[in-house]
Amino acid sequence: MIPYIGGKQRMAPWIHGFIPNDIDTYVEVFGGAFWVYMKSDPDNPLAAKQHIYNDFNPYMVNMWRCASNPKQFSKFIDERNPPLQSGETKSPLDVCREYFHACKDEMFASTFAVKKIRECLENKSIDKKQRKSLNEALNFARQRRDELNTEIREHFGQKIKAGRKDQNAAMKYVFLLTNCFSGASAVEATFTDDSKKNSSKFAAFHKKLNDEKNIKLLKNITTCENLSFEDVIAKYDSPTTYFYCDPPYWKTEDYYSLHEFGREQHYQLKDCLHNISGRFSLSYYDFPELSEMYPKDEFEWTAKEFVKPSGASAGKDQSIGNEILIMNYNLG
């Protein structure tokens, strides 16, 4: 449906082959772009009665909550008529850029001060004393921006945790994600010019809301939760629950925005998954500590090579990643 860092669009069909078919509840613990679910069969979505989306980022939760009523959300976007960079109805580039920054300023604390200080630091003529002062100012600006974004997220999250949704915020968040470099953090994102392309990513998202296959899947989303991984696992754990876990990967945690997941949380997730009644699949790239956290004589491991979407660039070979899937069950 939407570009987002860590998305499993290419890997979803492979992951489907390891999902049990005797489950009542399907939960994506780190929902993100929800690709594993959205790539399933719309007439029999992962053989479960309940399909639960969860993410710590309330803006993503809100977007999926709105998208789960696709016709209503599509109609809202039609009425607001946001500008498009490309396609038959494209808007002037400066209009799209202005709207992009308006969305960003409305939803997040501005990065204006951080950018201006960085520009000053690029001036090679400034002396060491000035550079030191500017670096101190840069650190302060970053810290204050992060604090403000935490406050903004928590305020918005209170509304989302109360079960509400905001179509205007969802539309603007989608506009940010579809008008920046694919997978970039919306907080840090800069506007990307795709005006020379034949289609708009935002228009493509809108079109997907009206696709019959997607409509079936979207309407089959039972609940969109904005919980920590511990809380959503505790809430839905049962012998007939399946959890798909796709956490921020080891040493890439800072690539994600609006979350609180660091190295310590990898171990907290491990402790949580070791003690559940349900079944889980866990995605990672390999790292030395992984086999200590999930010993191969206690858990099922499988792996497959995939092209990394983030590695794609003109004139260069795409990088290959060896995707690991760890399970607490054997399909036989």
Domain ranges (residues) in the chain: 1-56+227-332
pLDDT for 142 = 86
CATH of 1-56+227-332 among 3.40.50.300, 1.10.510.10, 3.90.70.10, 3.40.50.150: 3.40.50.150
For residues 171-193, average pLDDT: 86
- How much is the mean pLDDT over the chain? 89
**Residue 118 reports pLDDT greater than 90:** no
Residue 254's pLDDT is 54
pLDDT value of residue 316: 53
Q: Which residue has the tokens 């002396």?
A: 127
Residue 330 burial (10 A CB sphere; 0-12, 13-18, 19+): exposed
Q: Is 90 exceeded by the pLDDT of residue 232?
A: yes
And the tokens for 323?
A: 């995707």
| pLDDT band at residue 115 under the 50/70/90 scheme | confident
Tell whether the model's pLDDT for residue 259 goes beyond 70. Answer: no
Checking if the pLDDT of 253 tops 70, the result is: no
How far is residue 290's CA from residue 326's CA, in Å, rounded to a whole number? 10
What pLDDT shows up at residue 314? 46
Contact 275, 230 (CB under 8 A): no
pLDDT at 332 > cutoff 70: no
Per-residue confidence (pLDDT) for residue 247, from 0 to 100:
93
Give the whole-angstrom CA distance, residue 60 versus residue 281.
Answer: 22
Region of 87 on the Ramachandran plot (φ > 0 left; ψ -120 to 50 alpha; else beta): left
Count of C-beta atoms within a 10 Å radius of residue 226: 26
With a CB cutoff of 8 Å and minimum separation 6, the contacts of 117 are 134, 137, 138, 141
pLDDT recorded at residue 313:
47
For 262, list phi and psi in degrees, rounded to 5: -125, -165
Does residue 312 surpass a pLDDT of 50? no
CB 285 within 8 A of CB 322: yes
The band of 309, judged by pLDDT with boundaries at 50, 70 and 90, is low
More confident of the two residues 47 and 290:
290
Query: What local confidence, expressed as pLDDT, does residue 209 receive?
Result: 97
Q: What is the pLDDT of residues 55-79, one digit of tens each?
A: 999 999 999 999 999 999 999 999 9
Check the CA dihedral 198-104-145-66 and report its sign.
negative
pLDDT given at position 324: 96
